[in-house]
Amino acid sequence: MTTTVNGQRTAIVTGAARGIGAAVALRLARDGLAVGVVDLDETDCAGTVEAIRHAGGTALAVGADIADEDAATAAVDRVAAELGPPTVLVNNAGIGPRAPLVDMTTQQWDTVLGVNLRGPFFLTRAVGPHLIAAGWGRVVNMSSISAVGDAARVDYGSSKAALIGFTKSLALQLGRHGVTANAIAPGFIVSDMTRTSARRLGVDFEEFRRDAERSIAVGRVGVPQDVAHAASFLVSPDAGFVSGQVLYVAGGPVD
């Protein structure tokens, strides 16, 4: 059984004001889902919501800091009240500041883990009852190739590896309820995050991009739509036998 309003499923995509999240939100809307577009600032979500409506879809902008337990829970409640019970959740929002381990403050560690790991926990816990009530659901967690190690960001790499454990555990615990949980692990994707990384390193972005391309099998960096396509597959009704997996969207194999 699936819970829908007027036959339309509802999805929540976090960090959907820009970058990968915006592309995922637009793609899921094109696939026919109503989308709760969640990001820190509600007004920042306007561009994504406008693009979805322009494409004939349904979207709602919701401002919430997903690392804040009450805000994360309230965001899910609002989407459920205004768009219908969410049965698709894409935990995409994430941050990845750089700092060498020996200079890293406890606050930075807690902030990164707070957004990248506690946030998905808060959202998934709040969405959980809707998935169980529907007897159907899809959870996609945005990990990263950094899960296998990131020399520049031990906090980020740790959070993205933990998300994979979270994903597999969800898959085991919720599978009997018709729920799948999978992780996407993108490689280099052009977005504000990679532009900021180049700026912090004092490198021109085009140079940064060309440098990355040299080690990518398909000879190019990714774009947010590459990730959106993978998310679309994983949340699709026909993907019900794919669960607990990590799908690398990195232009080549990752060790």
CA–CA distances in Å: residue 104 to residues 138, 152, 154, 198: 35, 11, 9, 20
Q: Which of 25, 60, 76, 93 binds ligand NAI (CB under 6 A)?
A: 93
Question: Which one of 5-13, 94-102, 122-130, 170-178 is the stretch in contact with ligand NAI (CB under 6 A)?
Answer: 94-102
Q: Hey, CA dihedral for 72, 74, 75, 76, is it positive or negative?
A: positive
How many C-alpha atoms does 21 have within 13 Å on its Cβ side? 32
Q: Which is nearer to ligand NAI, 31 or 150 (CB)?
A: 150
Tokens of 164: 């994979």
CA–CA distances in Å: residue 152 to residues 139, 192, 214, 252: 28, 18, 19, 21
H-type helices in 14-145, by residue range?
19-30, 46-54, 69-83, 106-113, 119-134
Q: Is 115 in the site for ligand NAI (CB under 6 A)?
A: yes
Q: Catalytic pick from 122, 156, 208, 248? A: 156
Q: Which of 85, 94, 137, 157 binds ligand NAI (CB under 6 A)?
A: 94
What binding mask, one character per residue, do residues 228-247 give for ligand NAI by CB under 6 A, x or -? --------------------
Q: Is 189 in the site for ligand NAI (CB under 6 A)?
A: yes
156 in catalytic set: yes
> Would you say 221 and 251 are in contact if contact means Cβ atoms under 8 Å apart?
yes
CA–CA distances in Å: residue 142 to residues 145, 150, 252: 10, 16, 18
Q: Which of 192, 204, 207, 211 binds ligand NAI (CB under 6 A)?
A: 192
In whole angstroms, the minimum distance from the beta carbon of 7 to ligand NAI comes to 29
Q: Is 36 in the site for ligand NAI (CB under 6 A)?
A: no
Binding residues for ligand NAI, per CB under 6 A? 14-15, 17-21, 39-40, 65-67, 92-96, 115, 119, 142, 144, 186, 188-189, 191-194
